[in-house]
Chain A
């Protein structure tokens, strides 16, 4: 469904430089989040960003689309203001769960870059694992893949769209108050 909105051109070549730069950008982005530098992270988003996490609803492969029980459901479906609100909450110092400090670790891998029919925008697919460690042994982890649209701007790379696909249906964590 997210794909339908992405205007894909037949795969045009992406330069090594661009692919390399995108990989470095995603690593840097992950590190900013690991370091809880949320205002800095917000700088990497475009004003028109759409950020979604659809729920992986467990239906049969043969399930007929359109039945009311199968409508898409999102865990996050935010524009910039919604993401800023989430970041602001983290920064209040009033989220007791994060004190003692939560330790974050993100691994971003399997990065694939494709051109789109917008010259300065690229479709970037990646896989991730994200770990959170709290207190003594409160460890949670999530794995999935992302489909991003990254935009090349005079200020550098910016995230214009992100769809996060988790492999879990029932969320196996006390919350998903984190950015993927």
Chain B
């Protein structure tokens, strides 16, 4: 017996989504359990934690999590909650430390998560079993080529199985990077009064809004603003025509990708892309050698939005990684990290950082437009009648594009294929009986003890 009538919430055949999914607190509570307590969630990148003792804080759903490289160089993740009474043991967003000390009674934990210090221990406890009171580890932690993911489900499929075909696309970002991918420093963080799903599907699939919602920015930045071109991503400056040739939206089992396939238009929004384009062409032969012609010529350098379900987008071209952290049904935080190739000349990295700040930082020329409609879509669903309405994502339905890579391709970026893919995956995840159901598989037979554990943890 499902908690909700999911056919009514997401009608895949007609591409309709009931608006209550952006507002209903009961649906949100179910999302925390079904999605954020089961899926592999992006934590950060290994380049953020080069030294023992380096740590960052992030969220998995609404759970506050510390990711730390221990003295033994192993990266671990823990719930940021003291095992004594539950206060946070870390209030900094990152840095380097030997220990995490609770501000309530001073219990202290080392970077391997062990309880290392209890004030007045000998006087107040008789044989406190310290080993029982280490920080609670996130059940699973794994890295895909430096991208760190965590998962609360002991019985979930492996990270590589969870990623599935999208790994083929992630490789274009990770394997092409000279000297490896580099995520530098802390992210931009903005809290927006909207539902978390809306910015996710906007970033992974909504090419339609670019020329209209961002009309002000589009007329002053990049190729159009500088007169290099009269269109960006196939959409002309006045939003009066669209060239859908070349670009595709790809829906895979679980995840999605959109890409321009031209090998360079990721930099169309840059005011001064020349050094980045020069780097691309210098590096392209290496990428072709490593990844083959298709990925080396058509994907490397293209504007490519890799959407890993549920809430991370790896965006090549604009060059950032973005996480959407849910904060209740009507609020989310968006975290944006600039990403570069470690081996790029410093001046080229600087251009990328400047551009991420200029376009999608908190004062970004494009970023500022999206929060507004995301808020309005969410909050208008407070109205009972409005909440009965359904969103329609039927654009490009049934249209197929030839594509030799993994997944089903549909032509053009002004297309809603990826957004349909996202909501279909949302529905499957909400309906799944176990963590394997999230990726459309049947769970292998598990020992009774593991089942009981899963049951107890909900």
Listed in ascending order, the chain A residues whose CB lies under 8 Å from chain B are: 53, 55, 57-60, 63-64, 67-77, 82, 85-86, 88-90, 92-97, 169-178
Contact = CB atoms under 8 A, between A and B. Distances in A.
B189 A170 contact: yes
B365 A86 contact: yes
14 contacts: A58-B93, A67-B95, A69-B94, A69-B95, A69-B96, A70-B94, A70-B185, A75-B357, A92-B215, A94-B219, A96-B213, A175-B367, A176-B368, A178-B363
Nearest to B358: A82
Question: Main SS of chain A's interface residues?
Answer: loop
B220 A88 contact: yes
A170 B193 CA distance: 13
A96 B372 contact: yes
Given A63-B96, A67-B95, A55 B186 contact: yes
B369 A96 contact: yes
A63 B91 CA distance: 12
B363 A175 contact: yes
Interface string B81-109: 00000000001111111000000000000
Contacts of B56: 69
A68 B48 CA distance: 7
Given A67-B96, A85-B221, A97 B362 contact: no
A64 B96 CA distance: 7
B285 interface: no
Contacts of A72: 185
A73 B188 contact: yes
Contacts of B96: 63-64, 67, 69
A68 B75 CA distance: 16
Given A64-B96, A85-B225, A92-B215, A75 B184 contact: no
B184 A59 contact: no
Given A59-B94, A92-B216, A170-B191, 17 more contacts: A55-B186, A55-B188, A63-B92, A63-B95, A67-B54, A69-B56, A69-B95, A77-B357, A85-B365, A95-B368, A97-B368, A170-B189, A170-B190, A170-B333, A171-B191, A174-B372, A175-B371
Contacts of B191: 170-172
A174 B371 contact: yes
B95 A70 contact: yes
Contacts of A77: 354, 357
B362 A175 contact: yes
Given A57-B186, A174-B192, A89 B216 contact: yes
**Most chain B Cβ neighbours within 10 Å, of A89, A90, A96:** A89
A140 B367 CA distance: 17
